[in-house]
Amino acid sequence: MKYFYSWGLLFVLPFTIYAYMKADKNVRLKMMIFGSIFGLMAVIFDYMYLDYWNPVYLFDNFHFEDFMYGFLFAGILPGINNIFGRYKMKGKLKANYILGFIYIFLIVAIFYLITVALKYNYIYALSLAPLIIGIISYIKVKGKITDVLVTIIASLTITILVYNIILIIYPGAINNHFFIQNISGIIILNIPIEEILFAICLAVGCTYTYEAVFNQKIIR
């Protein structure tokens, strides 16, 4: 049971498979790029910050589960609206390096502010960073709030459903592996409110960031 993070990812897999089956080539590329980026970021952050939870990993020298979480879950969120036919992307992939560097700077600044200056738990920085990036991307591409809401609903549905399946199999997953004393201690739908907050903020960050960074036009 202690490897709940490892086997719990199996319950995310059906959503990922469905997303890749429904997506066209451009959207699959979009999800693969974002999934890889989020996966690597998840590995890096979990090595740096150990005050939120302490899952047992299969490999001590590389947190494979963190990468797979980023790839399987966070990776599909940018393609949700495309899969549901809400809009298509048009234009040659051309990275906006200035915007990319601005986003990197914001991530570093937010993590410093939250974890070092204010000494709050890193989960709040992990939530605030994609929220701010998502808002900037939303403004840049002149997005629609309904697209963001669709991504939020998908993110929350997967998060809440998967956690509750895990808790049915391993009821002690939250109490045994989350540092509840370091966060708010508020539990909603059987999981810490911080997980719900993160799911919402991640969804906001995922909705339009790819289009903003790679100069993709939205066609409805």
pLDDT band of residue 217 (cuts 50, 70, 90) is confident
d(C-alpha 210, C-alpha 95), whole Å: 9
d(C-alpha 208, C-alpha 53), whole Å: 29
What would the mean pLDDT of 45-66 be, rounded to a whole number? 85
3-state SS, residue 95: coil
Let me know how many helices (H) and strands (E) the chain has, helices first: 10, 4
Model pTM score? 0.94
Residue 174 has pLDDT above 90, yes or no: yes
pLDDT band of residue 45 (cuts 50, 70, 90) is confident
Tally of structural domains, the chain: 1
Tell me which residue range forms the domain holding 155.
Answer: 4-219
